[in-house]
Amino acid sequence: MSTVERGDAPAPAFLALELEPADLPFYRLIRAEEIFLSLVREVAGAVVERGDPVRWIVDRVEAGSLVIRVRLDPAENVKPVAMHRVAEAVADGAVRLEQAAERPPFFTDEALARARELAQFRGDDLPGIALRNGHDRAPVTDRMIENVDKVLGPDLLSIGTIEGRLESVTVHNRRAFNVYDDLTGQRIECHFGRRIEVEAIAAAVEKRVGVTGELRYRRSGELVGVRAHELEVFHDQSEIPSADDIRRMLRE
């Protein structure tokens, strides 16, 4: 996208998240936007070489495919022209990651992880995601996931259990569900193949669960995924009988 001058000041820079929803829950919409902004923030920090150089302004929400356009405003002591470099870096990086397993300029490991997370976020309720920069459009597909994995290198595997809240499941293109860690809020994608019945996972949505299987870590120590072997649903405290309930049942 070219920078258009208005006097001495460049025109505002924009990035847009384009979604093709199909009965998309509101919380999923909010989470998709959070991942998108995290990606932009990480790339912006690498472009400007300082933390949080961008202030986000939701400029427009378009009908049809849901498009959330964000204006990139510079933080204090950041030149406005830098926002165009940020927008170009994000859009160009998305295109490059769709084309080849090569690290785009300004894409840190964290930015690559957020790009991968955005691609993984697609599902039955959100079959299409793309990034827009001006008139350019960069679709986000499984190819991005594959290329990011190659760029980041081999993962470390171990057997273990994670705990958290199960909030979504998909069987579109891949069989997976997401668990959100109770303490950190981190989303952990769990692939289950044929080891666990879809019905059992669907029944566990919005409940606390324990997932046992192969835990996949980045070399930095970040947990990025699980190949699930077993699923345990934890009872809510309200479902656990109290001492009085147990004594009453014994008397009966």
Model confidence at 213: pLDDT above 90: yes
Determine the 3-state secondary structure of 222 from DSSP: coil
Q: Is the dihedral of CA 141, 145, 150, 151 positive or negative?
A: positive
Residue 60's identity, in one-letter code, is: R
Q: Which fold has domain 156-237?
A: OB fold (Dihydrolipoamide Acetyltransferase, E2P) (2.40.50)
Q: What letter does residue 126 receive in the DSSP assignment?
A: B
pTM of this prediction exceeds 0.85? no
Reply yes or no on whether the pLDDT at 211 is more than 90.
yes
Give the residue-averaged pLDDT of 138-161. 89
Residue 56: CB atoms within 10 A of its CB come to 14
Domain ranges of the chain: 5-152, 156-237
18-65 per-position pLDDT tens digit = 998 888 888 888 888 889 988 988 898 888 876 566 666 666 666 667
Q: What is the pLDDT of residue 130?
A: 92
